[in-house]
């Protein structure tokens, strides 16, 4: 497999792509559901992967009624997430290796995430990864979030690279739609969500891991 164009920069999603956080978020949401007396399932969580908190709030009220206490629910959820991540946060396999290779190639790279900048700094700071990225686009940097292309377009702008020359790495369906909509060559590295026919159509490749992405980059030269 070869890329349709020369790769001049790489834009990474964060949760589920750089960090093994989605399983932690899922466990915390299921536990919060039990605390609030609603049946949050793994499938419920999967339907929210890649979406912002306001979007998830709408989905929760659709599922559990307009009076569902979204604010206390999220407060409980994120408190649990912080406790779990203190003990369990891990890098996804292949992160260090792919960043090392990009260093060798001299390729600029960015993060485009729906998470807030404080979370990006807190989570990636534990692994001293932030200095290895040349730009970060977080939640407050755009008004339209994934699946809109805005986060990826801004990431390309901040890198000074044409979006068409960027490779985007994503694990979620909304993220793939955003990157593809920005015109980027997109690879899905599935985490919680399986690739659908739509994902296959929008991606230049579906990779089992970042190690596979690394091999593709090496073969591309």
Helices vs. strands in the chain: H and E counts, helices first? 10, 6
Catalytic pick from 15, 80, 141, 150? Answer: 15
User: Structure tokens of 78?
Assistant: 């994120």
Residue 4 has a CB neighbour count (10 Å cut-off) of: 8
Asked if 110 and 9 count as a contact pair (C-beta separation under 8 A), the reply is yes
- For residue 83, CA distances in Å to 80, 150, 151, 214 come to 5, 32, 28, 32
Catalytic pick from 13, 20, 141, 171? Answer: 13
Residue 113 has a CB neighbour count (10 Å cut-off) of: 28
One-character DSSP codes across 27-83: HHHHHHHHHTT----HHHHHTTTT--HHHHHHHHHHHH-TT--HHHHHHHHHHHHHH
- Tell me if residue 13 is catalytic: yes
User: Structure tokens of 121?
Assistant: 């700094």
Sign of the CA dihedral with 144 first, then 148, 153, and 158 last: positive
- Tell me if residue 15 is catalytic: yes
Torsion angle (degrees, nearest 10) of CA 193, 191, 185, 95: 170
Q: Which residues are catalytic, by number?
A: 13, 15
């Amino acid at each position: 497999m070869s890329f349709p164009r020369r790769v001049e920069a790489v834009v990474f999603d964060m949760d589920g792509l750089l960090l093994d956080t989605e399983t932690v978020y899922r466990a915390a949401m299921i536990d919060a559901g039990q605390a609030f007396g609603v049946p949050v399932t793994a499938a419920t969580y999967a339907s929210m992967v890649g979406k912002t908190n306001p979007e998830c709030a709408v989905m929760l009220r659709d599922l559990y009624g307009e009076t569902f206490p979204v604010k206390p629910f999220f407060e409980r959820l994120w408190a649990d997430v912080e406790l779990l991540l203190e003990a369990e946060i891990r890098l996804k396999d292949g992160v260090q290796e792919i960043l090392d290779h990009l260093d060798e190639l001299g390729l600029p790279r960015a993060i485009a995430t729906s998470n807030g900048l404080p979370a990006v700094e807190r989570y990636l700071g534990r692994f001293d990864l932030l200095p290895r990225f040349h730009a970060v686009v977080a939640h407050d940097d755009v008004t339209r979030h994934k699946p809109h292309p805005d986060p990826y377009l801004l990431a390309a702008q901040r890198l000074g690279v044409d979006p068409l020359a960027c490779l985007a790495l994503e694990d979620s369906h909304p993220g793939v739609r955003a990157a593809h909509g920005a015109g980027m060559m997109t690879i899905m590295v599935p985490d919680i969500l399986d690739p659908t026919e739509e994902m296959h159509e929008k991606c230049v490749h579906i990779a089992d891991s970042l190690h596979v992405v690394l091999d593709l980059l090496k073969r591309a030269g």
